Amino acid sequence: MTFENDMAQAQRTLEGGQFKHAFRAAKSAARKKPRSPFAPNIAGIALAQTGKHRDAVGWFKKAMKLDPGFSDARRNLAQSYLALGDSDTAQTLLNNLVKQTPGDADAWYLLAQVELQSGAPLQAEHAAGKSIELAPKQVPKRVRAYNIRALARNQMGQIDTALEDFEAALRLDPANVETLVNISLPLARQTRYREAMDAVTRAVELAPGHLGARLRLANQLMESGDNDAAIAQLHKALDLAPKHAEVIETLSKLQSGGQNERLETTARDALKSAPKKSPERASLQFALATIATQDGRTSEADRFLTGANKDMAALLPYDVDHDSVVTDGLLARFQSTIGPGQARPPGPFPIYVVGLPRSGTTLAEAILGAHPGVAPLGERIAAGVLLHPLIEDDLPFDKAAIEAFVAGDQRLLPALPPGTQAYVDKMPENHRYLGFLATAQPHARFINLKRDPRDIALSMWVGHFSGAALAYAYDLKAMAHRFNLCAKTMAHWRTVMPDAILDVPYEHMVEDVDATSRLIADFCGLDWTPGMARPDLNADQILTSSATQLRQPVHNRSVGKWRQHEDMLAPFIEALDPNYWPEVS
């Protein structure tokens, strides 16, 4: 066969999804015409399509060596580096490419992907905007660019503009599965639960074999309280990917011990082939720890938990020094007493529920949310997003900054039901920002959840969290350091904000939810209603890992549970500062 025949066959089989045949034909073409960059590029594409990105890199580099100006090969090389997790190299390649060919919509799109993966959503938003601008009549390219820009905006807390982008993508292609999957979570965060469910259900109907759609539907069902339907979706996902670690981990938490017998065999088999120090390996060990706990095998569960957290700590190291410096800098801004609250302006006022993760913040929000005049909004990222540039650049929180914060916070609020008196923001990280929040919103209320740190530590140790915000949770000494910082922070706010914070002990809340709910209502200036004492009957959509527990009547079964794992938690307990945690000394 000639070079031309080999290339035609390579292109034809590539388009037909026969990637191994395409690679062989492209390799044959490369031998016949070794100075042509096109055959190595096709060979690299074929390898990348089979997941062999490391091998593909060599072929793309060969194509670029033969023709340094070959932009397709540079894009493909960057995409392979992105798939390999080497975002720095991908970013360098793409920055050079958009300088050389600024009209390349594909290069801008890939750059947006890299920026988003690197934690630079503002830059991702800009690159995606360029891709949209450069592909005015190319619907598939515009749809994917709208999606990546929406994801960037959502990451920055701009949920309203993110939804506008997703909706623009759906106007171009109403049956685009990725868009339908992506839009469901921000819709839910805007309390548009029915629309969120409709979107992801439609995605599964359009693409029954789409694993991401199945997973998102399962999560949406869990959030709405339909665990049986969620389990059914996860089993269908497991049929699509029999060793998928996230599916196995989620199923282990939803199913009973008897249901998990077969799943344990699947998890152990998947663990054998899971890469070391990988998220997949950690997920499988968390799953096996859950199953062992259900079966009463405590020591085995502890071994799996230790392994899972060790893997995650290696992937997401916690910077002790940086966290200490940030905390000290925030507290140094507010040394003088912040005045008492003023008369409330018209409209709903904010109630901030803070505390360490797993300290009972979700239950406290549910108690408040059971009040007919209170809108529970979950863990809003608005405060962190709006204050981050000011904190990062050490800018003053002056009148202009306060006005900008208040306006931005209002803009990021979802539409609240008529008659709403207050809304709840239960982002635990807001404990760092109380000085800013009290200064900008003197009519706000602040509720701090307190709980035995050893019970919190156990609850976090068995948890697998998304993102890097809770990196400290995977190392017991790092967790103690973070707990000490949190206690130090709250002690400072109590000094500069006297009588502005209601401390609610978790143990009291679960022992006497009636009395605690009355205390919370009184502090917030709300008329107590009987429903506040039965939050389990009022749980609607819950966007946290506590969703399943909250739909049970309030109980105290987790109080003191740390004693069953005291040896495992010893490094954490020893590192707690007794000045802040006298109950453990």
DSSP secondary structure of 38-75: HHHHHHHHHHHHTT-HHHHHHHHHHHHHH-TT-HHHHH
- Domain extent, residue 455, equals 322-584
Q: How many domains does the chain have?
A: 1
Indicate the pLDDT class of residue 29, thresholds 50, 70 and 90. Answer: very high
- Mean pLDDT score, 555-579: 87
- Mean pLDDT score, 399-415: 91
pTM of the model: 0.79
Please give the order of strands across the beta sheet that includes 445-450: 374-376, 422-425, 349-354, 445-450, 501-505
Whether residue 465 lies inside any domain: the answer is: yes
Q: pLDDT (tens digit, 9 = 90+) per residue, 239-261?
A: 999 999 999 999 999 999 888 99
Alpha-carbon distance 345 to 353, whole Å? 21
Q: How many CB atoms lie within 10 A of CB 34?
A: 11
Q: Which residues pair with 353 in a beta bridge?
A: 447
Whether residue 349 lies inside any domain: the answer is: yes
Indicate the pLDDT class of residue 539, thresholds 50, 70 and 90. Answer: low
pLDDT at residue 517 tops 70: yes
Whether residue 278 lies inside any domain: the answer is: no
| pLDDT (0 to 100) of residue 455 | 95
Hey, what are 320's tokens? 């002790």
* CA distances to 360, 366, 369, 374, 441 from 525, in Å: 21, 17, 14, 12, 16
First to last CA, the chain: 81
Q: pLDDT (tens digit, 9 = 90+) per residue, 160-202?
A: 899 999 999 999 999 999 999 999 999 987 878 899 999 999 9
What's phi and psi for 349, nearest 5 deg? -110, 155
Q: To which H or E segment does residue 503 belong? A: strand 501-505
| pLDDT (0 to 100) of residue 189 | 79
Query: Which residues 6+ apart lie within 8 Å of 549 measured at CB?
Result: none
Indicate the pLDDT class of residue 25, thresholds 50, 70 and 90. Answer: very high
| pLDDT (0 to 100) of residue 340 | 65
Three-state secondary structure readout of 1-42: CCHHHHHHHHHHHHHCCCHHHHHHHHHHHHHHCCCCCHHHHH
- Mean pLDDT score, 37-48: 93
Alpha-carbon distance 3 to 12, whole Å? 14
Provide the percentage of residues in the chain whose pLDDT is more than 90.
69
pLDDT at residue 542 tops 50: no
3-state secondary structure of 174: coil
Provide the percentage of residues in the chain whose pLDDT is more than 70.
95
Whether residue 509 lies inside any domain: the answer is: yes
3-state secondary structure of 361: helix
Alpha-carbon distance 507 to 503, whole Å? 12
Q: pLDDT (tens digit, 9 = 90+) per residue, 78-124?
A: 988 888 878 889 889 899 889 988 999 999 999 999 999 887 888 99
Mean pLDDT of the chain: 90
| pLDDT (0 to 100) of residue 332 | 96
Alpha-carbon distance 26 to 22, whole Å? 6
Burial class (CB in 10 A: 0-12, 13-18, 19+), 566: exposed
Indicate the pLDDT class of residue 267, thresholds 50, 70 and 90. Answer: very high
pLDDT at residue 306 tops 50: yes
pLDDT at residue 580 tops 50: yes
- Mean pLDDT score, 532-559: 61
CATH number at residue 551: 3.40.50.300
Alpha-carbon distance 408 to 415, whole Å? 14
Whether residue 132 lies inside any domain: the answer is: no
Indicate the pLDDT class of residue 541, thresholds 50, 70 and 90. Answer: very low
Indicate the pLDDT class of residue 159, thresholds 50, 70 and 90. Answer: confident
- Mean pLDDT score, 549-560: 60
Query: For the ranges 47-61, 390-404, 551-565, which has the lowest average pLDDT?
Result: 551-565
Indicate the pLDDT class of residue 343, thresholds 50, 70 and 90. Answer: low
Indicate the pLDDT class of residue 538, thresholds 50, 70 and 90. Answer: low
Whether residue 169 lies inside any domain: the answer is: no
**Total residue length of the chain:** 585
Whether residue 271 lies inside any domain: the answer is: no
Q: To which H or E segment does residue 448 belong? A: strand 445-450
